[in-house]
Every structure is written in C-alpha cells, then in structure tokens.
Amino acid sequence: MTEIRSRVLLAGLTAVLIGIALINMVVDRRALQEGGRELSWWSGLVLDVAVPLQKAIAMPLTMARDGWGEYVALVGVRRENGDLRDELAVARDENLQLREALVASGRLERIAAMREGFDIPMLPAELVGLDASSWFRSVLLDRGRHHGVHAGMPLVCEDGLVGLVTATSRKAARGMLLLDRQSAVGAMVQRSRTRGIVRGTGDGLVFEFEGRETDVAPGDLLITSGLGGVFPKGLRIGAITTVQEGGTPLMREARVEPAVDFGRLEQVFVMLRRGATMDLLYATEGGDLNEEDLAPGDDS
C-alpha cells in the first residue's frame, strides 16, 4: 500500500510540475505578446534557484571545454612558434649569405681592377697557416710547384702588396709578409716620386729615405718603385702616417700604415712572374722544399 501511495504522490507531483510549467509558458507567451510582465514571487523563486543550479551543473563542462580549447590553442601557438623560429633561422642564413656575397662582389671588383693594371698571370691561394711571432711574419699557402708557384714570386691581394714567396714544395708554399723584419721593398712616394726602402718591423712598416731636400708628408701613398727587379712597379704598399723629425743628414724614417689589413687576410694572389734578381737568387731552386719542410709546425 505504501509503495502504491508513493507512486501516486510522485505521479501527482510530476503532473503538478508539468501543469505549472505549461501555465507559466502560456502566461509568458501572453505577456510577451502584451509587451512583457513582472514574474510572480513563485516564478521568480524558481528562476532564482534555477540559475545558480544551472551554472553549477554547467561549470565542469565549461571548464573542460575552455581548458581543451586553450590546450589546443597552446599547441597551435607552440607549433607556430617553431615554424617562426625555423623561418627566422633560414632568413638569418640567407642574410648572412647575401652579406658575404656583397663582400665577395666588392672584392671581386677590386681584384678585377687590380688585374687590369698588371699584365701578369695571377694564381689565387688560400692561407692555411700563419706564423705571427714578434720576429717572423709568414704564411703557409695551399699552392706549390705543381701549380706553377716558385720562390721569389710576389704575393698580392686586392688592397696591395702582401709579401713574397720564399719556399715551395710540390703542393704548398711559404710566404714572407711585408711585416717580417727581413722584408725590404723598394718604394716611392706616388705624389713626389721620392724613393726609399720600406722595411718590416714585425708589427708595422717604416719608410727609409734620403734626408736631403725630400718631399714626404703624412697621407702620402707609397707604391713599389720597381727597382731591384723583385716587385713590379705600382703596387700599393701603404700610406705615410708620421715623419720622424731630425735623424741623420742622409737618412730619415717615416711610419707607414699598410694598405693590406694583415689581421683579416684570407686569400692572396701569386703573381706568376719572377724578376731577374729573383732568378739569380733562386737559380739553383734553393727555395724549393720537400713536403715535410712546409709542415705547419708552429703555425696556427
């Protein structure tokens, strides 16, 4: 009996709630047609209870939906950041290559202009070793007798005179830089034609010239004089920076800023000619060495 009563009460309660809902719907529709109405106290109470209850029920679903959306969006952002980093790396590489191409193009123009000024075949050579001690300044090159390189041939770059080949093997060569203390080059001031000798000091250059009524001033350009039969005439050596006051009545000195930046030297050109003086000096090929003689040793 109790179970039957409970079922009847539940059915009645359900019917009442359905009836109230239907009545409320009819009243709301009529009120909407009439322009709206204020809710009764019991309708407002039901609405006040239903709103937070609905929010509480929907909150986990909303949080799950928002969290999933944010996670998916975060994954997309991470993927986009990765793509942007890859594009940035490619752009940096391309920018570096473009800069190197611009530098190379400028060098090629200067090299072409230099070659036009001298009717002498030139062979490019890379520096593979450097001896930069305080007394000796030499470089090791990747070209040798097999490539037509012999001791006594001048070394140049697009900026000017670099030095002289002093020893060769079959596939390598050693060159003495202008900065070497044993280096001496016949030079002259391009403006006044004053002649003298440019000598290396290990870390720089000095120009020795006669002190009698000579015209040498800071800023003057020094070029090879062609005397001595070692270097062709007209190669840039450097510019006068300071002229030593006093000195002996016969000889004076001036400091010279080299035209070549030896600290950034990467490639040189071997002028495939050897002057008469060098032919006599190396007539017995005394400057040609075996491969082991040109091992880098202390070079770095």
Q: Is 73 among the domain residues?
A: no
Phi, psi of 149 (to 5 degrees): -95, 135
pLDDT of residue 11: 73
Q: Is 54 among the domain residues?
A: no
pLDDT of residue 237: 97
Q: Is 82 among the domain residues?
A: no
| Residue partners of 124: CB distance under 8 A and separation at least 6 | 267, 268, 269, 270
Q: Is 134 among the domain residues?
A: yes
Q: Which residues pair with 18 in a beta bridge?
A: none
pLDDT of residue 100: 47
Q: Is 8 among the domain residues?
A: no
Q: Is 257 among the domain residues?
A: yes
**Domain of 190?**
122-294
C-alpha 5/C-alpha 278 separation (Å) is 131
pLDDT of residue 119: 73
Q: Is 184 among the domain residues?
A: yes
Q: What is the pTM of this model?
A: 0.60
Domain count, the chain: 1
Q: Is 157 among the domain residues?
A: yes
* Per-residue pLDDT of the chain in tens (300 residues, 90 and over written 9): 677 777 777 677 677 656 666 666 665 565 555 555 555 555 555 555 555 655 666 666 666 666 666 655 666 667 777 777 777 666 665 555 555 444 455 555 666 566 566 678 889 999 998 876 666 689 999 999 999 999 999 999 989 999 999 999 999 999 999 999 999 999 999 999 999 999 999 889 999 998 776 789 999 999 999 888 889 999 999 999 999 876 666 789 999 999 999 988 989 999 998 876 666 666 545 555 555 555 544 443
Which of 232, 212, 67, 254 minimizes the C-alpha distance to 155?
A: 232
Which of 130, 132, 168 minimizes the C-alpha distance to 148?
A: 168
- Looking up residue 146, the CATH number of its domain turns out to be 2.40.10.340
C-alpha 42/C-alpha 17 separation (Å) is 13
